Amino acid sequence: MLIVFLLIVLVFPCVILLKSPLGMIPEDIGLAVVSYGGSIMGGFLTLYGVWWTIDANRVQQKEERELEYRPLLKFDVCEYQHRFQQVGEIIYLFNNEYFSDSQPVYMDKMIVLENVGRGEIIELHYSMHKTELVSSCVDSLKEATACFLGEQYINTMPVNGQIYIILGIPQLIKKCQGKLIILSTDMEIKYKGAFSEKEYNQKLSFCLSVEIVEDHYKMNLYNMSLGSTGLHSYAE
């Protein structure tokens, strides 16, 4: 649009002041027309410059506000307690005769996700990205799956708010000779900030070792990380 306007600005006076053998536009009238048209075009350019400046400032202020009030997640681990309300569950499924998927045994520790940013988190979503059975105490146990429960109840998080995630492993119902199960898990977390139209993606990764001690489990979390997988910008 601006290029077309600039072309008109350059061509218009040339056409008006072009000396024609027919003498259709006298020179004094042509100069007056060019002067009048130049004033109009100059005013238009001034208005365009003011609009461009205001729009650029608006975009800059929006980006600064989004950065200042961007939500940010960090993780921690705490002892399991029953008093927490914002609780989700990662339940592992083995689909194996040695284990009962309908009777999960919960770990005595919880993963804590906390919003340490300056903005509220809205539209919080979770998905199990990858679950891998690294080591198995049962030969017939070749793979494991996992699901996340509770998303419909914990889809927002205020500033300094926390969400707690407990881990459940299928109950061992038949004795086995092995003593150790190791699971690797990646969970994708997507969310938007209250002051932004961008969607942030983070991936929570961890390994869970399950040691079978007589008739109970001894579980341990290690290799934990919470990294960014980038962001997706909605149409603005």
Looking at the fold, whether 187 and 84 belong to one and the same domain comes out as yes
pLDDT number for residue 51:
79
Domain boundary among 49, 68, 87: 68
Mean pLDDT of all residues belonging to the chain:
80
Write out pLDDT tens, residues 74-130: 999 998 876 656 788 999 999 999 899 999 999 999 999 999 988 899 888 888 989
pTM value surpassing 0.85: no
Domain boundary among 68, 87, 108: 68
Looking at the fold, whether 193 and 135 belong to one and the same domain comes out as yes
Looking at the fold, whether 50 and 102 belong to one and the same domain comes out as no
Looking at the fold, whether 81 and 191 belong to one and the same domain comes out as yes
Average pLDDT of the residues in 225-236: 60
Burial string for 16-27 (b: 16+ CB within 10 Å, else e) reads beeeeeeeebee
Write out pLDDT tens, residues 7-30: 565 555 555 555 555 445 555 555
Average pLDDT of the residues in 201-210: 94
What is the edge-to-edge ordering of all strands in the sheet holding 198-213?
121-135, 180-193, 198-213, 216-233
Q: How far apart are CA 52 and CA 99, in angstroms?
A: 66
- Domain containing residue 16: 2-68
Average pLDDT of the residues in 46-56: 78
Q: Are the beta carbons of 116 and 160 closer than 8 angstroms?
A: yes
Residue 184 in this model has a pLDDT that exceeds 90: yes
Instruction: Give me 232's structure tokens.
Output: 């997706």
Domain count, the chain: 2
Q: Is 158 helix (H, G, I), strand (E, B) or coil?
A: coil
Q: How far apart are CA 151 and CA 153, in angstroms?
A: 5
pLDDT number for residue 232:
47
Domain boundary among 68, 91, 115: 68
pLDDT number for residue 13:
57
pLDDT number for residue 233:
42
Contacts of 150 (CB under 8 A, 6+ apart): 87, 88, 89
Q: How far apart are CA 71 and CA 192, in angstroms?
A: 8
pLDDT number for residue 195:
82
pLDDT number for residue 93:
95
pLDDT number for residue 139:
83
Residue 236 in this model has a pLDDT that exceeds 60: no
